[in-house]
Structure 1
Amino acid sequence: FDFFKRLIINKQNDYTHYVVIPHFTEGSENAFEVINTIPKDKLILLDKLVAGVDGQFGAVYENFEKDIYGALEKALPQLSKYHTIKINVPANTYHPDEILKGFRAFCQQYAFSYKVVHNIANEPIKEGEAYINLMEDDLVILIEKILATKMKLGKHVGVISYNETPLKKLILNGITTISTDFTMMGQKAAQLILDQSTEHIEIPFKVTIRASL
């Protein structure tokens, strides 16, 4: 965060636009103060809105809390075969707090037991549980752990992975994914710059149900 702060202060007049992805592992509570020093007609926030950033500026963003809640609702017919949902959020990595807010709200609304896991390698795999995985490396660990049991993926244990990739269509007859449209996000951000626009655009979130759930 300190590097970001120095960069913004020292480069205020060097560019026509500043596209900021405001994900910080530390110092995020003060991010709005630094971002507010950028002239608003030059500012584009990408992926996330930041509370406290004022004025007229462009933004292309995900609504993390609403997105995960809505995605899990769409997967409810498949999730109903499980009694517990666990979300894997590795320690020392950044993920918006809104993801966990939406996850907890869904589980409470639909009476699922739930748990936030910080180290999937140490988590026992149990029948009747579904796992939401945020990081690609942890997806490999999770699948290896499931394959080491006699449980069947999509029947005894479920897996949902964040962010669609071509490979997830093929792994174990398909991994269920929840994902924003990153291509659209980039295109919309570029269009805001070309149009000198201060529009705020929320990017849609997609659920792809496959055999893993």
Structure 2
Amino acid sequence: MQINIKDGISSPIYLQIVNEIIENTSSGKLKMGEKMLSINKFSEKYKLSRDTVEKAYNILKKKKVIIGIKGKGTYVNNLKLIDKTNILFLINTSNPYKTKVYSSFVKSLNENYQINLFIFNNNEPFVFDTLIGSLNKYDYCIIMPHSKSTYTENLKYQYSLNDIVDRIPNEKLIILDNNDYKTEDCFFQIYQDNIHDFFNILKFSKLQISKYKRLHFIAQLETDYSNYTDYSAILFELQKYCSNNNLHLKVSDNASSNTDINLGDLFVIFEENDLVKLLNLIKTKKLSIGKDIGIISYNDTTLKRYLNITVISPNYNKMGEMAAEMIVNKTRGKLKNPYTFINRYSL
């Protein structure tokens, strides 16, 4: 790379550096990913003050022509991204529901937005080492954490998702699907009030539920889902709900061939595997769903739609649409994504 600095012209030297580097990248003399000279080496090579070079580099970083990676240096960025709003979408673990949010988010934005999806599989140290240092090339960073209490151990250190959230600049930070973080200053947050919405829907469905005598709650407490939903609080609310509605309550970790099932039972079931086991058991006992036995399941899926199972479900597509709309409109704040009740033939 050769920089031509001209004395005696009106353009300040730092702007000449900026324009020369942009010209070099546009012409291909500087390649994407090529390492730049450090500020000190640049100032030595071209006999310029360090402050002048630093000012030029800062402007280039803001324009996203170059990016700085902590501990590694400064590199030429992808020029195709310069005129776009660049978004980093971080997901700690993949599941069908987070995929729905991401797909809906992408579909709601046009070609002026560049979204990079990164699933780090609960490897928080990798995020620290690889991604956090390159955040300056993104306009926004969206994170869908499962729980701030999730920890990943490494031989040398231990980081939590909360540590990662703390490292993302507030003006870039967007949190989806979690209400555990102190986020008054983040760009925006879309959360779900799981317990409140879940029981509001049960109360709203009192007429349909009144024909049942016992509520049988089945949830696998040891799964990853227990990090996301406060089951102890749910159980407390279940006891209160059943007491107020003259329902007996039974709680089980899972469904099996030995699951107790009687006429007048209403099953509230979280895991799809347990739902399949329960349906097989009901078939074996020759009971009628929606008449002898009631079922409410958590999270809508293709299988539940096909089998006409009543569900209480977050609207994941809506969450993605809301996030995209807030970015486009540059709207700050905190919004709730409400649950939906889809009443089918199983209640």
Asked if 1:26 is matched to 2:146, the reply is no
- The answer as to whether partners of 1:72 and 1:106 remain within 8 angstroms in 2 is no
Give the superposition deviation at 1:193: 2.5
- The residue number in structure 2 matching 1:4 is 124
Task: Look up the SS of the partner of 1:192 in the other structure.
Answer: helix
* C-alpha spacing 1:33/1:53, structure 2 compared with 1 (3 Å): farther
Q: Percent identity?
A: 25
Give the superposition deviation at 1:73: 0.9
- The answer as to whether partners of 2:315 and 2:338 remain within 8 angstroms in 1 is yes
Q: Distance in 1 between matches of 2:258 and 2:183?
A: 39
- The answer as to whether partners of 2:271 and 2:298 remain within 8 angstroms in 1 is yes
Question: Which residue, 288, 296, 300 being the options, matches 1:160?
Answer: 296
Question: Which residue, 129, 139, 150 being the options, matches 2:275?
Answer: 139
Asked if 1:94 is matched to 2:217, the reply is no
Give the superposition deviation at 1:199: 1.8
Task: Look up the SS of the partner of 2:167 in the other structure.
Answer: coil
Give the superposition deviation at 1:60: 1.4
- The residue number in structure 1 matching 2:339 is 205
Q: Distance in 2 between matches of 1:42 and 1:9?
A: 19
5+ unaligned residues in a row in structure 1: which ranges? none
- The answer as to whether partners of 1:65 and 1:100 remain within 8 angstroms in 2 is no
Structure showing greater radius of gyration is 2
Task: Look up the SS of the partner of 1:152 in the other structure.
Answer: coil
Tell me which amino acid in the other structure corresponds to 1:35: V
Task: Report the TM-score, using the length of structure 2 for normalisation.
Answer: 0.54
Tell me which amino acid in the other structure corresponds to 1:204: P
Q: Distance in 2 between matches of 1:196 and 1:122?
A: 53
- The residue number in structure 2 matching 1:69 is 199
Give the superposition deviation at 1:116: 3.7
Pick which of 86-95 and 178-187 moved more: 86-95
Task: Look up the SS of the partner of 2:138 in the other structure.
Answer: coil
Total equivalences in the alignment: 211
Q: Distance in 2 between matches of 1:72 and 1:5?
A: 41
CA RMSD of aligned residues (A): 2.7
* C-alpha spacing 1:106/1:137, structure 2 compared with 1 (3 Å): closer
Q: Distance in 1 between matches of 2:210 and 2:239?
A: 11
5+ unaligned residues in a row in structure 2: which ranges? 1-91, 93-121, 153-159
Tell me which amino acid in the other structure corresponds to 1:97: T
* C-alpha spacing 1:177/1:81, structure 2 compared with 1 (3 Å): same
Greater RCO (Cα-Cα under 8 Å, separation 6 or more): 1
Q: Distance in 1 between matches of 2:337 and 2:179?
A: 12
Task: Look up the SS of the partner of 1:105 in the other structure.
Answer: helix
- The answer as to whether partners of 1:129 and 1:157 remain within 8 angstroms in 2 is yes
- The answer as to whether partners of 1:5 and 1:34 remain within 8 angstroms in 2 is no
Task: Report the TM-score, using the length of structure 1 for normalisation.
Answer: 0.83
Pick which of 55-64 and 89-98 moved more: 89-98
Question: Which residue, 117, 121, 127 being the options, matches 2:256?
Answer: 121
Give the superposition deviation at 1:64: 0.3
* C-alpha spacing 1:116/1:100, structure 2 compared with 1 (3 Å): farther
Q: Distance in 1 between matches of 2:175 and 2:258?
A: 36
* C-alpha spacing 1:94/1:9, structure 2 compared with 1 (3 Å): farther
